[in-house]
Amino acid sequence: MGAATALTGKQKVAWAAITVAVLVWALFPVISIMATSFKLPSDLNSGSFLPTTWTWSNYEQILGPDGSAQELFLSSLRNSIGISLIATAVSSVLATLAAYAIARLEFPGRKLILTTALGVSIFPVISIVTPLFNLWRSIGLYDTWAGLVIPYLSLTLPISIWTLTAFFRQIPWELEQAAQVDGATTWQAFRKAIIPLAAPGVFTTALIAFFIAWNDFVYGISLTSTEAARPVPAALAFFSGASQFEDPTGAISAAAVVVTIPVVVLVLLFQRQIVSGLTQGAVKG
């Protein structure tokens, strides 16, 4: 780093202060929930931030074999994982094909697809939930996995198509031809020159799509009624305390922590790919 980019003492202090402020702002709720998840029910209203006695009882309640919320939580976790993965897979495949076509081929209606996608994505979810509820009930999709996968696609597809189109437009497609001249078959050229460049983008988009599906609440609560399809964010509302007079806050916090962990782990694991997927550029300097 040259002298021009080195920070003065004052600037360093300022940057540190800003960083701390942002970190507190972003992490306080998470830490608060984590702290709550380790509290005893009796501790919930004590007013202290950290638990007075640390306990795993909340986690036992949702995960343990005798936990009161175990069945509810595990089935919803299974639903969440399954539905989100299916929605992500389907939307990644469809969006990749669509974006490839939009970025590479000349055909009438390219613009139309992009604008439609944008239109769909700005449509307020809450306004279609009621009609969808009625429709699903009459055609038998209510409270099924497919009944959630389909609306999730309407959330994940537009953004996936948009990000992937932008990404594919940047790929130097000439590489495919260069590879063919170098002696590759059409398929080899695609596999060895294009896929390695496209993969980070597809991966990043898939991750974003997964988070969107994973975090959904409105569809999850409106279009399900039983454990057959109810995802975690919706299921949290159905938790009950160990007894009728006990607050389920601790169990809800524990469940929230459990569903946050995969997101954090995924992001940490694939941080590099996400960043390179968002920044990898052309060859020419």
Partner 1 sequence: MASITLTDVVKKYGDGYPAVNGVSLDIKDGEFVILVGPSGCGKSTLLRMIVGLEDITSGELRIGDAVVNDKAPRDRHLAMVFQNYALYPHLTVFENIAFPLRLQKGKYTEEQIKDNVEFAADTLELREHLDRKPANLSGGQRQRVAMGRAIVRDAQAFLFDEPLSNLDAKLRGQMRTEIARMQRRLGTTTVYVTHDQTEAMTLGDRVAVLRKGELQQVASPRALYEQPVNLFVAGFIGSPPMNFVPGEVHGDTLRLPFADVPMSDALRERVNGRGLVIVGLRPEHVEDVRSLDESKVASGVTFEADVDVVEWLGSELYAYIPFDTHADVAQKLEELDRDLDGEGMRTQVVVALGSESRVRDGSHAELWFDPARLLVFDPESGENLTYDEEAAARVDAETEEDRRAAVERAQRDQKQSETAPRHRQAG
Site of interaction with partner 1 (CB under 8 A): 172, 174-175, 177-186, 188, 192-193, 196-197, 280, 283-285
Output the smallest distance, CB 274 to partner 1, in A.
16
Output the smallest distance, CB 199 to partner 1, in A.
9
The tokens of 193 are what? 């020159």
- Whether the CB-CB separation of 236 and 12 falls below 8 Å is answered with no
CB nearer to partner 1: pick between 110 and 137: 110
Output the smallest distance, CB 185 to partner 1, in A.
7
Burial level of 248, CB count in 10 A (0-12/13-18/19+)? buried
Output the smallest distance, CB 269 to partner 1, in A.
20
Output the smallest distance, CB 4 to partner 1, in A.
22
Query: DSSP readout, the chain?
Result: --TTTSPPHHHHHHHHHHHHHHHHHHHHHHHHHHHHHTS-GGGTTS--SS-SS---HHHHHHHSTT-TTHHHHHHHHHHHHHHHHHHHHHHHHHHHHHHHHHHH---TTHHHHHHHHHHHHHS-HHHHHHHHHHHHHHHT-TTSHHHHHHHHHHHHHHHHHHHHHHHHHHS-THHHHHHHHTT--HHHHIIIIIHHHHHHHHHHHHHHHHHHHHH--HHHHHS--STTT--HHHHGGG---SSTTS--HHHHHHHHHHHHHHHHHHHHHTHHHHHHHHH---S--
Cα R_g (the chain), whole angstroms? 24
Output the smallest distance, CB 95 to partner 1, in A.
22
Q: Cα separation of 91 and 126, whole Å?
A: 21
CB nearer to partner 1: pick between 111 and 284: 284
CB nearer to partner 1: pick between 199 and 264: 199
CB nearer to partner 1: pick between 29 and 196: 196
Output the smallest distance, CB 74 to partner 1, in A.
41
CB nearer to partner 1: pick between 161 and 179: 179
Greatest CA span in the chain, whole angstroms? 75
CB nearer to partner 1: pick between 10 and 284: 284
Output the smallest distance, CB 178 to partner 1, in A.
4
CB nearer to partner 1: pick between 46 and 186: 186
CB nearer to partner 1: pick between 153 and 179: 179
